[in-house]
Chains A and B, each alone.
Chain A
Amino acid sequence: MSDILEQAGRAAYDVGGQDLPRDAMWIRRLDPRVRIVALCAYAITMIQLSNIPLLLIALALSFFLMSQARLPVMPTIKRVAMMDSFIIFMLVMLPFTMPGTPLFHVFGFPASYEGLMKGIDILLKANAIVMATLALLSTLEPVTLGHALARLKVPAPLVHLLLFTVRYIEVLHEEYNRLLIAMKCRGFLPANRWHCYKSFGYLVGMLLIRSFERSERIMQAMKCRGFNGQFHLLDNITFERLDAVFVGFASLTMLTLLALEILHVLPA
C-alpha cells in the first residue's frame, strides 16, 4: 500500500519478480510483536556494551539478520550509511575535542585516542542497531506494525494516528509530485532565489490545504458509513513455535553479550 515506506523492507528477490519459498525468509514469518520487543531489547543491550571486539560480533550478528531477511545488500548499506550532517560533523570532531593521549595531529590539532575510540564505538553501535531495525522491522507492512503496537497495549489513539498517517503518506506524496510537475511545466527551476523559496512555501501550503480538504471529505465518507469514533482492528497475529525458538535464541545471545561485557572476557 505505502510504497515509500515499504521500499526499505523489500526483499532482494521481489525486485526480480520471482518469489522465494517462504521458508527461506523465516524472519518475515515471525510474530510482529516478537520482532518489536526483540529489537527494543537488542537496541538497549547494544548501548550497554563498550568492548570493541564484542561490538564487532554484534555488528556481524546484525549483518546476519539482514542477510536472513533477504534485504538487497547495496541499497541497504547505503541506507545505513546515510546520516545527518550534524552527526557526521560531531563524530569527526570527537577525537579533537575529547582530551586524552594524542594519537596524531591534523593542522597542528591533536587527535586523542579516547575520542577516536568513542567515535568508533558510536558508529559500530548505531550501525548494528540500524541494521537490525531494517532486518526485523522494516520488513513489516506498516499496517501490521500498527496492529502489533495495538496488541502490545500502545494507546489506541496513537495507533490510529499511525494507521491514518501510513495510509495517506503515499496519497499525499503523489499529490506533491503532481504539484511539482505542474510547477515544472510552468518553467520552475530550483535555485537559491527568494522566488524558489516562496514557491516551495506555497507548495507546502497548498499541500496542507488540499490534505485538509481531503480529510473533510474522508470524514464525511466515514460518517456516511456509520463511523462513531471507534475503529476495529482485525489481524491474525499469533505466537507460534518459530517465535518461541527465536525468543529463546535472541535472549540467549543478548545475555551472552552482556555477560561477556561484564566479565571482561575479551581483550579491549
Chain B
Amino acid sequence: MHIIDAALTNDVVMGGAVLTLAGLGLGLRKLDMDLIPAAGILSATFFVASLIHVPLGHSSVHLIMNGLAGLILGWAAFPALFVGLLLQAIFFAFGGITVLGVNAINIAGPAVIVGLLFRPFVIGASSAIKAAILGGLAGALAISLTTLFVGISLALSEESLIPAIKLVFLAHIPVMIIEGLLSAAAVYMIHTVKPELFDVMRQIDDTKDETEGWS
C-alpha cells in the first residue's frame, strides 16, 4: 500500500511530512537508548515479514502486519515502521522519497492507534484464545485503517477518484481478513509461548528502574 511520488498534491505531501515528524518525535521519546537494540531487531523482523507472500485466490499478497507491530511496540512502532519504509523506498523502490511522510502516516499511524486501543486487553487476556481474537481484530482493523488512510490521501489530492477508491476499499476486504487471521494466529502463538513479548517496551523499562541504569 505504498503511494508513489507525484500521486499527491503538495499540501497533502506536506501535511503527511508534518504529521510524521510529530509521530517520530513522540515515538522516539518512548525509545530510550537501551530499548533501541530490541526495537531495531523487531523493526527488522517486521521488515522481513513484509517480504512474506501469502496465497490469496489465484495470486498472492504481501504482509504488512502493522497491527501486530503496534501491539508489540506501542508508540515505538512509529519510528520502527518508518525505518522500514525508508529502507524500502531507497533500496526496493517501493513508494517514494517525497511521499515517505504520507506513507508513514498511512502504515505506522494505524499501528500506533491499534496498539494503544488493544494492547492493554491483549496483555490482560485470560486465555490465549481471547488474546488471539483481540489480536485478530487489531490486525484487521490496522489494515482497514491503512486502506482508509491511503484512500483519504488520494481523495484529498484528486476528488474525482472517490468512487474508484470506494471500490478499491471493498476489493481489499479479503486482505483485511487474511491479515486478521494471521495476526490472530501470531498472537495465539506469542501468548502461549512467550507472553512477555507484548511487554517488551515496558519490561526493559522496569528492569532499568530496578537496577538504576547500568552505569
List residues of A whose CB falls within 8 A of some B CB: 4-9, 39-40, 43-44, 46-48, 79-80, 82-84, 86-87, 89-90, 93-94, 97-99, 115, 118, 121-122, 125-126, 129-130, 133-134, 137-138, 140, 142, 145, 155, 157-158, 160-169, 171-173, 175-176, 190-192, 194, 196-209, 211-216, 218-219, 222-223, 227-231
Known: A6-B91, A90-B168, A166-B87. A207 touches B57 (CB 8 A): no
User: Across the interface, do A87 and B41 meet the contact criterion of CB distance under 8 Å?
Assistant: no
Q: Which one of B32, B34, B44, B197 contacts A209 once the chains associate, using CB atoms below 8 Å? A: B197
Q: Chain B residues near A207 (CB, 8 Å)? A: 45, 48-49
A-B CB contact pairs (8 Å), 20 listed: A79-B92, A87-B3, A90-B7, A97-B161, A129-B5, A129-B97, A129-B98, A133-B93, A142-B91, A157-B31, A162-B83, A166-B87, A172-B44, A196-B54, A197-B178, A200-B52, A204-B185, A205-B188, A208-B45, A215-B42
Other than the given A196-B54, A211-B41, 8 more pairs (CB < 8 A) read: A8-B93, A48-B10, A86-B172, A161-B39, A165-B47, A169-B87, A198-B185, A203-B52
- Residue-by-residue, is B71-93 near A (CB-CB < 8 Å gives 1, otherwise 0)? 01000000110111011011111
Known: A86-B1, A230-B33. A165 touches B84 (CB 8 A): yes
Q: Which one of B4, B31, B38, B185 contacts A212 once the chains associate, using CB atoms below 8 Å? A: B38
Q: Chain B residues near A39 (CB, 8 Å)? A: 97
Q: Chain A residues near B126 (CB, 8 Å)? A: none
Q: How far is the CB of A57 from chain B (nearest CB, A)?
A: 16
A-B complex: 4 closest residue pairs judged by Cβ atoms = A164-B40, A201-B185, A205-B189, A125-B6
Q: How far is the CB of B54 from chain A (nearest CB, A)?
A: 5
In Å, the complex CA distance between A162 and B178 comes to 29
Q: Tell whether B125 is near chain A: CB-to-CB under 8 Å.
A: no
User: Across the interface, do A229 and B55 meet the contact criterion of CB distance under 8 Å?
Assistant: no
In Å, the complex CA distance between A9 and B93 comes to 11
Secondary structure at chain B's binding surface: helix, strand, loop or mixed? helix
In Å, the complex CA distance between A6 and B91 comes to 7
Count of A-B residue pairs with CB < 8 Å:
269
User: Across the interface, do A208 and B197 meet the contact criterion of CB distance under 8 Å?
Assistant: yes
In Å, the complex CA distance between A173 and B44 comes to 9
Q: Which one of A125, A157, A190, A205 contacts B36 once the chains associate, using CB atoms below 8 Å? A: A157
In Å, the complex CA distance between A10 and B115 comes to 38
Q: Tell whether B51 is near chain A: CB-to-CB under 8 Å.
A: yes
Q: Chain B residues near A94 (CB, 8 Å)? A: 158, 161
Number of interface residues of B (CB under 8 A): 84
In Å, the complex CA distance between A138 and B28 comes to 26
Secondary structure at chain A's binding surface: helix, strand, loop or mixed? helix
Q: Chain B residues near A161 (CB, 8 Å)? A: 31, 36, 39-40, 43, 79-80, 83
User: Across the interface, do A190 and B186 meet the contact criterion of CB distance under 8 Å?
Assistant: no
User: Across the interface, do B190 and A87 meet the contact criterion of CB distance under 8 Å?
Assistant: no
User: Across the interface, do B160 and A99 meet the contact criterion of CB distance under 8 Å?
Assistant: yes
Q: Tell whether B140 is near chain A: CB-to-CB under 8 Å.
A: no
User: Across the interface, do B185 and A197 meet the contact criterion of CB distance under 8 Å?
Assistant: yes
Within 8 A of A (CB), among B161-215: 161, 163-165, 168, 172, 178, 181-190, 193-194, 196-197, 200, 213-215
Q: Chain B residues near A173 (CB, 8 Å)? A: 48, 51
Q: For residue A230, which residue of chain B has the nearest CB?
A: B33
Q: Chain A residues near B51 (CB, 8 Å)? A: 4, 173, 176
Within 8 A of A (CB), among B63-120: 63, 65, 68, 72, 79-80, 82-84, 86-87, 89-94, 96-98
Within 8 A of A (CB), among B1-31: 1-7, 10, 13, 24, 28, 31
Q: Tell whether B154 is near chain A: CB-to-CB under 8 Å.
A: yes
User: Across the interface, do A228 and B168 meet the contact criterion of CB distance under 8 Å?
Assistant: no
Q: Tell whether B124 is near chain A: CB-to-CB under 8 Å.
A: no
Q: Chain A residues near B183 (CB, 8 Å)? A: 201
User: Across the interface, do A43 and B96 meet the contact criterion of CB distance under 8 Å?
Assistant: yes
Q: Chain B residues near A125 (CB, 8 Å)? A: 5-6
Q: Chain A residues near B196 (CB, 8 Å)? A: 212
Q: How far is the CB of A225 from chain B (nearest CB, A)?
A: 12
